[in-house]
Amino acid sequence: MASNIRVAVRVRPLNKKEREAGARNIISSTGNTVSLTNVNVEGQAEYGDHRERVKHFTFDYCYDGASEHSDTDMVACQELIYQDMGTEVLQAALEGYNACMFAYGQTGTGKTYTMMGYPKSTICFVSLLFQALFSHIEESPVEDNVTFRIEISFLEIYNERVRDLLQTRRRKERYTLKVREHPKHGPYVKDLSKYVVKDFSEIQALIDRGNENRTTASTHMHKHSSRSHAIVTVNLSQAKFEDNLPSEIISKVNLVDLAGSERADPSYHSEYKGRIKEGAYINKSLVTLGNVISVLAQRSLLNFSTESITSSQSARSSVDFLEFPHRVNSPTRRTRGLYIPYRDSVLTWLLKDSLGGNSKTLMIATISPASQYYGDTLSTLRYAQRAKSIVNKPKINEDDNVRLIRELRAQIEMLKRELEKARKLSPHYIRTISTSFSQEESESNRRKEAILEEIEIKKEQVVAEWLKKLGMQVPGSPGSSLYATTSNLVFCLENGLKVQHELKEGRTFFGRDDQQSDHFKELMGSDVLPNHCHIDSEDGEIRLSPEVGALCYVNSQIITEPVLLKHGDKIQMGKLNTFTFQQTQEIIEKLTNSGLESRLSVQCSSEDVSRSSSMNDLTMVSSSSFKTYDQK
């Protein structure tokens, strides 16, 4: 799905300094069109002045705080912006799209005021968005059974270096974060801290902390000027069971408060030593952003096919180079392509997906109405105008197989409806079309069968992939059997597939991030912590220890301390991972002989014992399906 970047313009009121300097309001607006007047131009053609006195720009939204009729209620205006643009960002994120909102404009025109709130904790775009997100989660129907996970990070780009705004590090280590590019997920900041948040107050505290840590300084135009670009990133994951399969959609939302553009006139900075270098970096990255926007806008106007873009990007991901189709308004023979300079600045590199990529993106351009800033304001409006024509290609971030199954199921439903319709036709009509209909019906049945078969194959593939991710073996796969002698932990899925999990002597960790170690088992579900819990296996004694804050149950009792497991115990790690602990006959005997028989005597079905008796060590068998568990 292609979608243009949506652009708004916000005009702040004249401030005291501007009024004292005799500034005139040179902005007027009608609907979503802003008009900018150049007071130095007469614009009277009859007297030989052919320059344009008034320039008009139309955007998707316009908030004119400088007009006589504007609503001066700050809260109302912030809420209006959120209603127009924030709901779009939230909707996109909930549907599984990546989204981005960024504020661009001359220094002192209201970017931070709009995005982050000023002073701290005031109503702003970011706070309204998070409030709405948590309201949505609270109101989400229980029967939908969706588990939400929200992770937040906050960084600044200062003098082309990235700094974690949520970490309090010693000064030396402050600006050491590196930007890397993942082949599938795109650019990211290595070692950036991420916080899982459970309610609005937690998120507000983090935003306040980040804003306090942000680099600001006094400039000739603005006492509290942000000297860096700030990016709040929210990773939202929604996990649930759909058609008896685990599914998860993940979206990333970037909320960006750019540093303000400013004139690179050194004389401006004579009283603000140290700001010159910062200003140069700010301008450099904004110029790169402008170049990226220009190329993307040009590309959209030339109506590039996405296929050629995607293939050339994947083939040469590091150079981001787009081929012109042959002889399509190619500017010169020398440049038969459009180079997108994402990597010319850290800012554009990190926002690569938001600009011309997989994201629904919105921009708010902030301007001052003061006559002395005519040039800066014109440049901002032109910048915003160009951004409007960028076309992004957002797509829902979900597992391809789950998506395919859903689409195939939808096809089946459609075929069923068609059949039903045909059956309802009058007998007379059916007679007249009987031959063709029976042919159609059998064709339709064949299609249906083929689709069902494909679904089954896909379903098995999805399950197998999940199991592989969990470090388990699928029965039937080469070299594995259901009860191999070394295996200790068996996991059983609803559709009858049973697999083995090795639980070796010593400590085995269970958690979210796959640490690629034999002693680490990956669990499913967005509520699982990186190191969720561990199991110690020593001389036949098995202890389960949860990490602080990890959801672990033994026989439906939540545990916070190590628990000695006994045969038949029902274990739950997070929401989606459930097992029955089963010990082999040999171990049961060993423990019985050492006087621990009372712990082991119960809950073991004869079937379980006969299966496990062929094993050498300890076994965990899952008896409940995901679904049964999830409904708990």
Ligand X SMILES: Nc1ncnc2c1ncn2[C@@H]1O[C@H](COP(=O)(O)OP(=O)(O)OP(=O)(O)O)[C@@H](O)[C@H]1O
Binding-site residue set for ATP: 105-112
Residue with tokens 């949520």: 166
Q: Nearer Cβ to ligand X, position 366 or 377?
A: 366
Closer residue to ligand X, CB minimum distance, 18 or 353:
18
Minimum CB distance to ligand X, residue 22 (Å): 19
In SS3 terms, 384-432 reads as HHHHHCCEECCCCCECHHHHHHHHHHHHHHHHHHHHHHHHCCCHHHHHH
> Which of 102, 125, 106, 105 has its CA nearest to residue 114?
125
User: Where does this chain touch ligand X (CB under 6 A) — which range of 24-32, 221-229, 527-535, 623-631?
Assistant: 221-229
Peptide bond into 119 cis (omega under 30): yes
Which residue number, 77 or 529, has a Cβ lying nearer to ligand X? Answer: 77
Which listed range, 101-109, 480-488, 502-510, 536-544, lies at the site for ligand X (CB under 6 A)? 101-109
| CB environment 529-561: b (16+ within 10 A), e (fewer) | beebbbbebeebebebbbbeebbbbbeeeebee
Q: Do the strands 577-583 and 570-573 form a parallel or antiparallel pair, or are they unpaired?
A: antiparallel
Selected from 86, 96, 110, 246, the binder of ligand X by CB under 6 A is 110
Beta carbon of residue 72, minimum distance to ligand X (angstroms, whole number): 8
Q: How far is the CB of 161 from ligand X (least distance, A)?
A: 18
Among the residue ranges 219-227, 350-358, 390-398, 453-461, the one whose residues contact ligand X (CB under 6 A):
219-227
Beta strands in 433-519 (DSSP E): 489-492, 498-501, 506-511
CA distances from 472 to 16, 107, 497, 498, 585 (A): 68, 56, 11, 10, 23
For ligand X, the closer CB: 8 or 528: 8
What are the residues whose beta carbons fall under 8 Å from the beta carbon of 409, sequence distance 6 or more? 243, 455
- Spell 196-229 as b/e; 16+ CB within 10 A means b: ebeebebbbebbebbbebbbbeebbbbeebbbbb
524 touching ligand X, by CB under 6 A: no
Q: How far is CA 398 from CA 118, 219, 536, 576, in A?
A: 37, 46, 35, 18
Residue 352 backbone phi and psi in degrees, to 5 = -50, -45
Nearest distance from C-beta of residue 86 to ligand X, angstroms: 16
Separation of CA 144 from chain center: 21
Give the binding range for ligand X (CB under 6 A) out of 105-113, 288-296, 305-313, 372-380: 105-113
Q: Using CB under 6 A, which of 222, 275, 299, 501 touches ligand X?
A: 222
Q: Interface with ligand X by CB under 6 A: which range of 109-117, 146-154, 470-478, 595-603?
A: 109-117
Among 204, 226, 294, 300, binds ligand X (CB under 6 A): 226
**Smallest distance from the beta carbon of 101 to ligand X, in angstroms?**
15
Q: Which is nearer to ligand X, 387 or 489 (CB)?
A: 387
Alpha helices in 316-399 (DSSP H): 346-350, 374-388
Rounded to an integer, what distance in angstroms lies between the CA atom of residue 320 and that of residue 556?
53
Task: Report in angstroms the alpha-carbon separations of 232 from 151, 256, 289, 390.
Answer: 11, 6, 18, 22
Q: Give the binding range for ligand X (CB under 6 A) out of 106-114, 133-141, 314-322, 532-540.
A: 106-114
Distance CA 129, CA 135 (A): 10
112 binds ligand X (CB under 6 A): yes
Q: Which of 6, 111, 534, 566 binds ligand X (CB under 6 A)?
A: 111
Q: Which of 28, 37, 98, 109 binds ligand X (CB under 6 A)?
A: 109
- In the stretch 368-407, what mask flags binding to ligand X with x, by CB under 6 A? ----------------------------------------
Nearer to ligand X, 260 or 525 (CB): 260
CA atoms within 13 A on the CB side of 357: 25
How many residues bind ligand X, per CB under 6 A?
Answer: 19
Q: Which of 113, 125, 154, 304 binds ligand X (CB under 6 A)?
A: 113
> Strand ranges (DSSP E) for 80-200?
99-105, 147-158, 161-164, 179-182, 186-189, 195-197
Asked if 105 is part of the footprint of ligand X (rule: CB under 6 A), the reply reads yes
117 lies in the binding site for ligand X (CB under 6 A): no
**C-beta of 68 vs 307, nearer to ligand X:** 68
Could you give the C-alpha distances from 433 to 31, 418, 430, in angstroms and in order?
A: 58, 15, 5
State the binding string over 9-48 for ligand X (x if CB under 6 A, else -): ---xx-----------------------------------
**Which listed range, 100-108, 157-165, 424-432, 532-540, lies at the site for ligand X (CB under 6 A)?**
100-108
The stretch among 223-231, 237-245, 310-318, 503-511 that binds ligand X (CB under 6 A) is 223-231
Residue in the structure block whose two tokens are 């700001």? 275
Q: How far is the CB of 36 from ligand X (least distance, A)?
A: 18
Please tell me the distance from the alpha carbon of residue 497 to that of residue 543, in angstroms, as a whole number. 27
Do residues 180 and 187 lie in contact, with contact meaning Cβ atoms separated by under 8 Å? yes
Residue span 242-281 as binding mask against ligand X, x where in contact by CB under 6 A, dash where not: -----------------xx---------------------
Compare residues 75 and 410 and give the one whose CB is closer to ligand X. 75
Binding residue ranges? 105-112
User: Based on CB atoms, which residue is closest to ligand X, 224 or 469?
Assistant: 224
Give the CA angle between residues 364, 367, 368 to the nearest 5°: 155
The count of C-alpha atoms lying within 13 angstroms of the C-alpha of 563, restricted to the half-sphere facing its C-beta, is 21
C-alpha dist (Å) from residue 611 to 76, 472, 484, 499, 619: 68, 18, 11, 13, 10
26 vs 340, which CB is nearer to ligand X? Answer: 26
Beta carbon nearer to ligand X, 113 or 510: 113
Between strands 618-621 and 489-492, the pairing is parallel
The amino acid present at 230, given as its one-letter code, is: A
Of all residues in this chain, which one has the CB nearest to ligand X in the complex? 260
Q: β-strands 6-11, 360-367: how paired? A: parallel
Among 6, 65, 81, 511, binds ligand X (CB under 6 A): 65
- Answer yes or no whether residue 107 interacts with ligand X by CB under 6 A: yes
Least distance in angstroms from the C-beta of 284 to ligand X: 15
Query: Among 233, 366, 371, 537, which residue interacts with ligand X (rule: CB under 6 A)?
Result: 366
- Smallest gap from Cβ 104 to ligand X, in A, equals 9
Residues that bind ligand X (CB under 6 A): 12-13, 65, 105, 107-113, 118, 222, 224-226, 259-260, 366
